Structure 1
Amino acid sequence: MAVTGKRVGRLDIRLVRGDTQRVGGRWRKRNMQTGEITPVDLSAWAGTLELRSPDGRELWWERACATMTADGYAICDIPANAFTGGEWNTRRTGQWKVFVRNPLTGERRTIGWGYWTLSD
């Protein structure tokens, strides 16, 4: 049986300083023989949200995803006070990524990514 992961598409997001926000992704697999799409159970996986510089080289902020679901979602909460430091006055755009890691096998997958813009 041939099974392949669904391609992760780019999603650009706007983050608002002072607001509580949620960012995440969903992992599903397609059975190439039947065409059936099923979610991957992420309840035992660990997820992480990264906010990086525009070129992706510098890690500016990261947070563990608090919600990992059996129907393939990894959801990370951004608290309202996340971007209150002075360094965020110049960090206005960059790249974001949500990846998940299986703690038993070490397998790592990106399930959401794109570019972010920070506004007031």
Structure 2
Amino acid sequence: MNGVYGKRVVPRDVRLVRGDSERLGGWWRKRDLSTGEITPVDLSAWSGRIELRSPDGDELWYVRSCDEMTDDGHAVANIPPSAFAGDVWLQRRSGQWKCVVTSPDGSTVRTVGWGCWVLSD
């Protein structure tokens, strides 16, 4: 089998702290099956976002655009300290998260990071 495929994205569980700044995102690399070489995907022209969802994944509770899209495959959103200050976050203590990137023409959408999150004080 010849070709290039994306490196498998593994889940990463994260702990978020109310009142702290946070960084959340993902990393996309590809492996050439004929050579075994692993190279990052240049995401500098792409857009990205992180999503925090309910534990069952049905409700979207928070979304933020990625501030950093790098040529070495990273998509990172900087979450401000005020993000979880509202009273609604007293009941929203855990769930699922993911980082999604979209190509400049909008034709390619990939999940480059995902897992579970927990919010603590």
TM-score over 0.5 (shorter chain): yes
Per-residue CA deviation, residues 12-63 of structure 1 (Å, 9 max, x unaligned), is 0000000001001100000000000000000000000000000000000000
- Letter of the aligned partner of 2:23 in structure 1? R
Secondary structure at the residue paired with 1:103? coil
Listed as ranges, the matches of 1:53-64 within 5 Å are 53-64=54-65
Which residue does 1:106 correspond to in 2? 107
Per-residue CA deviation, residues 79-110 of structure 1 (Å, 9 max, x unaligned), is 00000111000000000000100121420000
Which residue does 2:71 correspond to in 1? 70
Change (3 A) 1:29 1:119: same
Listed as ranges, the matches of 1:21-40 within 5 Å are 21-40=22-41
**Gaps in structure 2 of 5+ consecutive residues:** none
Distance in 2 (alpha carbons) for counterparts of 1:85 and 1:39: 37
For normalisation by structure 2, the TM-score amounts to: 0.97
Distance in 2 (alpha carbons) for counterparts of 1:31 and 1:76: 28
Which residue does 1:118 correspond to in 2? 119
- Percentage of pairs with the same residue: 60
Change (3 A) 1:61 1:105: closer
Which residue does 1:51 correspond to in 2? 52
Q: Which aligned segments of 4 or more residues in structure 1 are displaced greater than 6 angstroms? A: none
**Gaps in structure 1 of 5+ consecutive residues:** none
Listed as ranges, the matches of 1:75-94 within 5 Å are 75-94=76-95
Secondary structure at the residue paired with 1:113? strand
